[in-house]
Chains A and B, each alone.
Chain A
Amino acid sequence: QKEVEQDPGPLSVPEGAIVSLNCTYSNSAFQYFMWYRQYSRKGPELLMYTYSSGNKEDGRFTAQVDKSSKYISLFIRDSQPSDSATYLCAMSFNSGGYQKVTFGTGTKLQVIP
């Protein structure tokens, strides 16, 4: 079983739709959960960061973590064409001060005007 599993998509939605992106993980040591957005041939851009079970909201984005089920989600409300990108889930734990991060494969999202 992979440490982090993420559906690669692609996921195609109409503008204004609610998007749900998901990842599962197997390593109970993960403490921190992130979502990055990556445009083509660009670096990952941190969108959301959380460390506890529950929901965290930032504008149109909501990150959800369920540690008991080892499942995290990112919801995008009122999706826009500019949201078209690859979304990477990432999980980490603190290893002697530095962060040991494992990424999912990324889900490619296309929002159609």
Chain B
Amino acid sequence: EPEVTQTPSHQVTQMGQEVILRCVPISNHLYFYWYRQILGQKVEFLVSFYNNEISEKSEIFDDQFSVERPDGSNFTLKIRSTKLEDSAMYFCASSGPRDMVGRSGNTIYFGEGSWLTVV
């Protein structure tokens, strides 16, 4: 069954460095998302992306963040200059339309996450 895949699973970076997190959404899905979960806290929405444009972004998603779909399969999240408080699990997700294995277009499916540690 197709899944959302993310790389890397874990990255340690120094404060101020740029980080790119990569995702391959489920084939045929059209909407892509990034969420963040700081250790011990709730899953928080960062950004949604459709038709090569940001659909919506949260207040967390400031100018340090950007998203891109550089080709037909990858979806990336870039953090330009990382801060200590960016340490978190970052989840990519995708949704809709109803895909080849019949999953609903009305809910989103998550990858396993990329654990980012900023030191």
Query: Is B109's beta carbon under 8 Å from chain A?
Result: yes
Are A42 and B48 neighbours in the complex by a CB distance under 8 Å? Answer: no
Say what secondary structure dominates the interface of chain A.
strand
Query: Is A61's beta carbon under 8 Å from chain B?
Result: no
Please give the distance in Å from A79's CB to the nearest CB on chain B. Answer: 23
Q: A51-B106, A98-B50 are contacts. A41–B89 as well, Cβ < 8 Å?
A: yes
A36, A45, A94, A104: the one within 8 Å of B106 (CB): A94
Interfacial chain B residues near A104, Cβ < 8 Å: 42
Q: A41-B113, A43-B111, A44-B91 are contacts. A103–B104 as well, Cβ < 8 Å?
A: no
Count, chain B residues at interface, CB 8 A = 28
Of residues 46 through 105 on chain B, the ones whose CB sits less than 8 Å from some CB of chain A are: 48, 50, 55-56, 89, 91, 95-96, 104
Interface magnitude class on chain A: 20 to 34
Are A97 and B42 neighbours in the complex by a CB distance under 8 Å? Answer: no
CA distance A102 to B4 in the complex (A): 20
Query: Is B107's beta carbon under 8 Å from chain A?
Result: yes
Are A92 and B96 neighbours in the complex by a CB distance under 8 Å? Answer: no
Please give the distance in Å from B68's CB to the nearest CB on chain A. Answer: 17
Please give the distance in Å from B60's CB to the nearest CB on chain A. Answer: 14
Please give the distance in Å from B21's CB to the nearest CB on chain A. Answer: 13
Q: A49-B104, A51-B106, A98-B55 are contacts. A43–B96 as well, Cβ < 8 Å?
A: no
Please give the distance in Å from B44's CB to the nearest CB on chain A. Answer: 8
